[in-house]
């Protein structure tokens, strides 16, 4: 696709998957942008694995990630997820399905693939031609609106002006808070006074990456269902990616949602992996906790 240059500029706060994907799209169609990332690396080793579904692959394909332009994602992916097993926490089979990746490929044109978040971030960055527009150690602190332009300030005192601002800076988004502050100033009463507090949180999650084990077939997905909790495990070519989801005792909103510590993680893992009798399926997942990287 040949880019057409547009006379506008988009400010993107956050070098996340969403932030970098948007930057790739804007570059593709000739819209100017700058990405402001608070961290010192564009691909930090933070976060677990990401399942790239067919609908996401369709978008990535349009910005040069598949086919004649490099097949960039597949160079970093794990094996395709082709066998799915869903069990009760004591190991009883709920259902099993073979051929998932093949079926999705046939129906949607793309399979399901699994990739580390770090790898996906690096791939998105490498796909951009104008890498000088991605700036590191630029922590957002303030937003102002002037003459149909947005002006933001970073912690180091630099200012950036654009036609629109996109917050891709996570759940506890400073951009969202500043947008609300500015909206209340410019249009009092238009938004709820504390709209941020309406965002609900029903579950907490532990994720991990572990060494592979011969008892779990590469390319398979395993799900274990329990009361108010569940586990999922994705077996890649060289690593295992797993998640424990636990329902909160009550629904939390906005500022009530905590930032968990390593001690919180350890206590939750002991409660669900070690503190109860378990069947074979749960025993395998408990082993992943011991084998984590």
Q: Exactly one of 160, 231, 241, 272 is catalytic; name it.
A: 231
**Is residue 203 annotated as a catalytic residue, yes or no?**
no
Q: What is the DSSP string of the chain?
A: -----EEEEEEEE--SHHHHHHHHHHHHHTEEEEEE-SSS-SS-S-S-EEEE-HHHHHHHHHTTSSGGG--TGGGG------EEEEEETTS-EEEEEE-HHHHHHHHHSS--EEEEHHHHHHHHHHH-S-GGGEESS--EEEEEEETTEEEEEETTS-EEEESEEEE-S-TT-HHHHHHHHHHHHHSTTSS-TTGGGG-EEEEEEEEEEE---TTS-TTEEEEEEETTEEEEEEE-SS-EEEEEEEEEEEEEEGGGSPPPPHHHHHHHHIIIIISS---HHHHHHHHHHHTB-
- Residues belonging to the active site: 231
């Amino acid at each position: 696709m040949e880019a057409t240059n547009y006379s506008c500029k988009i400010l993107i706060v956050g070098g996340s998957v969403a932030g970098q994907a948007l930057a790739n799209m804007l570059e593709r169609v000739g819209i100017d942008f700058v990405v402001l990332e608070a961290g010192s690396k564009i691909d930090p080793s933070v976060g677990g694995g990401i399942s790239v579904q067919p609908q996401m692959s369709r978008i990535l394909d349009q910005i040069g990630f598949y086919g004649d332009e490099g097949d960039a994602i597949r160079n970093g992916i794990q094996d395709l997820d082709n066998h799915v097993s869903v069990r009760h926490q004591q190991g009883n089979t709920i259902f099993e399905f073979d051929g998932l990746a093949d079926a999705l490929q046939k129906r949607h044109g793309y399979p399901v693939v699994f990739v580390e978040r770090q790898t996906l971030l690096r791939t998105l960055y490498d796909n951009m031609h104008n890498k000088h527009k991605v700036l590191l150690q630029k922590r957002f602190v303030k937003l102002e609106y002037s003459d149909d332009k947005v002006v933001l300030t970073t912690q180091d005192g630099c200012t950036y002006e654009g036609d629109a601002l996109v917050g891709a800076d996570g759940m506890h988004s400073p951009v969202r808070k500043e947008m609300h502050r500015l909206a209340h100033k410019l249009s009092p009463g238009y938004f709820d006074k504390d709209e941020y507090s309406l965002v609900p949180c029903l579950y907490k999650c532990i994720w991990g990456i572990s060494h592979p084990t011969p008892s779990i077939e590469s390319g398979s997905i395993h799900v274990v269902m329990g009361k108010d909790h569940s586990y999922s495990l994705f077996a890649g070519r060289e690593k295992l990616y797993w998640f424990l989801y636990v329902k909160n005792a009550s629904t939390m909103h906005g500022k009530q949602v905590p930032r968990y510590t390593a001690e919180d993680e350890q206590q939750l893992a002991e409660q669900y992996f070690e503190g109860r009798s378990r069947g074979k399926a749960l025993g395998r997942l408990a082993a992943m906790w011991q084998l984590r990287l």
